[in-house]
Amino acid sequence: MSSTTPEDTATAPTTEDTTRTSVARTVTDVLQPRNALLAGMLGIGLAAAGDWTGLLWGLLGALCAGLIPAGYIEWERGRGTWGDRHVVDRTKRAPIFFVILGSIGAGSVVMVLGNAPHGILVAMLALWVMTIGLLAVNTVWKISVDSAVASAVVALLAVVHSPWWLAAYALTLAVCWSRVALGYHTVAQTVAGAALGAATTVAYAFG
């Protein structure tokens, strides 16, 4: 006689559920903010400078906007502050935003002193303002940071390179889907994040 109860049957994950979770986890890890910013800022820097030197400025931008904050999160994880990089508890996210603001601000100062191309500076300013928006919304609602960054990178690349880059919004949609599939955000939270990320291009209208 089987020892499986109706409750066990109802809650047991199906193969389809397991596969979906695995795919969602892969998408969210591969397209996480630090990776998206590394690729995106290199592209923005190259377009801004018009030659290979822009890659160096882009790398600095990626370091300040993505890699340093990611390093901070890993450091706090090591101390046991958070369980993983997702920091699912909204109330514990504020320090991350302040680190991002400080890091982007410091990087922008270095860029100004080093006469960095105008385009990369505008992108840094856009990301800085976006972070303020994320911080403000996060005080009352768990807006999706991953969706915001994925959207911002695509939008900024479309502005500095070609509108054809808008096709890469398929990747942004994949990020939004993965965050919902993993239970980290609602659809509304990912849409709001993506919209805020797209709004970073407004900086170029005044730049």
For residues 84-88, average pLDDT: 79
Does residue 4 belong to any structural domain of this protein? no
Does residue 184 belong to any structural domain of this protein? yes
Q: For 40-83, write each residue's pLDDT tens digit.
A: 999 999 999 999 999 999 999 999 999 999 999 999 888 888 77
- CA dist., res. 104 & res. 63, Å (int): 9
- Domain range enclosing 117: 17-206
- CA dist., res. 37 & res. 44, Å (int): 10
Does residue 11 belong to any structural domain of this protein? no
Does residue 186 belong to any structural domain of this protein? yes
Does residue 30 belong to any structural domain of this protein? yes
Helix (H) or strand (E) holding 25: helix 15-30
Does residue 127 belong to any structural domain of this protein? yes
Does residue 22 belong to any structural domain of this protein? yes
Total domains present in the chain: 1
Report pLDDT for 2: 45
Q: Would you say residue 9 has pLDDT above 90?
A: no
- CA dist., res. 162 & res. 114, Å (int): 27
Does residue 3 belong to any structural domain of this protein? no
Mean pLDDT of the chain: 92
Among candidate residues 111, 19, 13, the one with its CA nearest the CA of residue 62: 111
Report pLDDT for 1: 45
Report pLDDT for 194: 98
